[in-house]
Each structure stands twice: as structure tokens, then as C-alpha cells.
Amino acid sequence: MDKITEKNAATFTHLSSLTQYFFPFGNYIFPILIWTAKKDKSEFVDHNGKQVLNFQLSLLLYSLVLIAIAIPIFIITIFRNVPFDAIIRDDNFVINNFNFDNGIGLLTVGTMALVIFGCLKIAEFFLIIYAAIKTSNGERFKYPITIPFIK
């Protein structure tokens, strides 16, 4: 495989993870397809394919942890503060004595988990673009905060 072809294949491996915005699990499926087709022909493509997949798997793990923190906190906080004296008056649903005073600390932790999740998704987008640019220039790129699942 010549240098230009392997740089293009490696670049498309990175960019193919952006298909997550159009296809569910596209950020795993398309990089795997490109990587498996070209990994035996080029060490450069093999390295970049592993980087893309390790980054996507790491982000999946981080996202699951953040969601596992945020969702139960919001559910617990809301249901702990919902009194059972909710009534319907004049076709309006009224909940008396609803407040978040007791759970403001938990809500802060849950909100921070959601903010970190949002920051991860924004960083993911820009890191993918940056990796594709670096790879198209023939440089080896290693994503930050990545767990090496595939070695």
C-alpha cells in the first residue's frame, strides 16, 4: 500500500467515527470495517484503527459511568421530594410542598455529571477532526484519556 493510500485510509478511519451522528453505533461499525479491511496491509492504518476504536470504547465507558451517576441522582432527588398530597383542582394538577432544599448537593453532582458528559461529546467531535488532520499529514496520533482496550 503506498503512502498516500494508507494516509487516506487512516484519515477515513478517524472520520468514519463521525457517522454516529447519522447511524446508531456508526462510530464503531464503520471504523471497524475500514480498520479490518486495511490493517494487514499497513502498520500506519493498524495503529490509527486501534486508536479510533480505543477512543470510542473509552468514551462509551465514561458516558455510561456519568449516566449511571446522573440518572439515579435525579430520580432519587425528585421522588424523595414529591409529597403524596398531590391533588387535582379545577382540572389542574397541583403538588404542594415541592422543594429541592434537601437534595441540592445531589442535584449539583448530577448536574456536573451531565455537564462533563456534554464536554466529552464536544471534545470528542473536535478531537476526531484534529486526529484526522494529523493523520492526513502522516503523523501518528494518540487520543488523550484513552484506555488501551485493543493493543
Residue 105 has pLDDT above 60, yes or no: yes
As a whole number of angstroms, the distance between CA 80 and CA 69 comes to: 17
Q: Is residue 142 part of a domain?
A: no
Residue 110 has pLDDT above 90, yes or no: no
pLDDT in tens, 121-142: 999 999 999 999 999 999 999 9
As a whole number of angstroms, the distance between CA 146 and CA 7 comes to: 22
- Domain count for the chain: 1
Contact at 8 Å (CB) between 142 and 51? yes
Residue 93 has pLDDT above 90, yes or no: no
Q: Is residue 110 part of a domain?
A: yes
Per DSSP, the chain holds a count of helices (H) and strands (E) of 4, 2
Q: Given the C-alpha cell 424523595, which residue does it identify?
A: 80
| 22 or 103, higher pLDDT | 22
**71-75 average pLDDT score:** 85
- Residue 73 is predicted with a pLDDT of 84
DSSP class of 18:
G
Cell of 127: 478531537
Range of the domain at 18: 3-136
As a whole number of angstroms, the distance between CA 58 and CA 53 comes to: 8
Q: Is residue 13 part of a domain?
A: yes
pLDDT band at 75 (very low <50, low <70, confident <90, very high): confident
Contact at 8 Å (CB) between 151 and 49? no
Of 20-34, 73-87, 124-138, minimum mean pLDDT range: 73-87
Q: Is residue 59 part of a domain?
A: yes
pTM over 0.75: yes
Q: Is residue 17 part of a domain?
A: yes
